[in-house]
Amino acid sequence: MINSARKDGRTVLTEIESKGLLKEIGIPTTQIDLATSDKEAVAMSEKLGFPVVLKVASPDISHKSDAGGVKVGLKNGHEVANAYQEIMKSVKQKFPQAKIEGVSVQNMARAGTEIIIGMTKDAQFGPVLMFGLGGVWVEVLKDVSFRIVPLTRRDASEMIKEIRGYPLLQGYRGTEAANVTILEDLLLKVSEFTEKTPEIKEMDLNPIFAYKDGAIAVDARVVLEN
């Protein structure tokens, strides 16, 4: 996946490539495949099982929702075909110069507590991991914690407990509690991967749906060094 991006002269991996990397290091993700026509999208959806999610696949579009490039909760082939066409029309209007590879088709994960795990490189300290509430909450609340790579299990535990939203992970007012040990495992896997892979410049796993018995990365973005 990294080699493929390098051959194409890209530093930003597609979502499909990013999720492929995550699977290699043992981080669960939604199933994902690339459709280049509405008929392919319908066939893939039927194979995955409804409901499904469609997202535009383009190395030039980071914020897919802003481009009208995401459709969720599609319940049948008719909805999938229409969604494919609507995504293509919207994206071509808003980003006419973007390279569009097609549309990714994914199974729709069960909703859980949304968290984010990210990695950036500090000029002085090197790779730094971030943990916090994910989805839109990370932009609104900025409720995050940081640690320098490599992490220990204690570091990961402290990162999770430091955020103000930690009570949400414990199950707030009847919501499903998250399995904190599994979240620690995810942080440690990302830490180990970034330490061993210096060509990674940035990583964003957002959102990750956290459950009492697991966690799954719903979206992922990986950026390589120039």
* Domain that residue 97 falls in: 31-107
Same domain for 100 and 62? yes
Same domain for 130 and 210? yes
Same domain for 46 and 127? no
pLDDT at 137: 65
Same domain for 38 and 76? yes
Task: Report yes or no on 162 lying in a domain.
Answer: yes
Q: Show the tokens assigned to 80.
A: 């999938």
Report the domain count for the chain.
Answer: 2
The domain boundary residue, chosen from 67, 89, 107: 107
CB-CB contact of 69 with 57 (8 Å): no
Same domain for 92 and 132? no
Backbone angle region of 171, left / alpha / beta, with phi > 0 → left and psi within -120 to 50 → alpha: left
Q: What is the mean pLDDT of each successive set of 10 residues along the chain, which is 226 residues long?
A: 84 92 96 96 97 92 88 97 97 92 95 95 94 78 92 98 93 89 98 96 96 96 93
Task: Report yes or no on 16 lying in a domain.
Answer: no
Same domain for 38 and 63? yes
- Is residue 137 classed exposed, middle or buried when 0-12, 13-18 and 19+ CB atoms within 10 A define those classes? buried
Same domain for 205 and 143? yes
Task: Report yes or no on 53 lying in a domain.
Answer: yes
CATH of the domain at 79: 3.30.1490.20
Same domain for 156 and 176? yes
Same domain for 211 and 138? yes
pLDDT at 70: 95
The domain boundary residue, chosen from 81, 107, 133: 107
Same domain for 118 and 169? yes
What is the rounded distance in angstroms from the CA atom of residue 218 to the CA atom of residue 134? 11
Same domain for 78 and 142? no
The domain boundary residue, chosen from 87, 107, 127: 107
Same domain for 119 and 217? yes
pLDDT at 7: 85
Task: Report yes or no on 10 lying in a domain.
Answer: no
Task: Report yes or no on 17 lying in a domain.
Answer: no
**Which residues contact residue 118 at a Cβ distance below 8 angstroms, ignoring those fewer than 6 apart?**
129, 130, 202, 203, 204, 205, 206
Task: Report yes or no on 22 lying in a domain.
Answer: no
pLDDT at 104: 96
Task: Report yes or no on 8 lying in a domain.
Answer: no
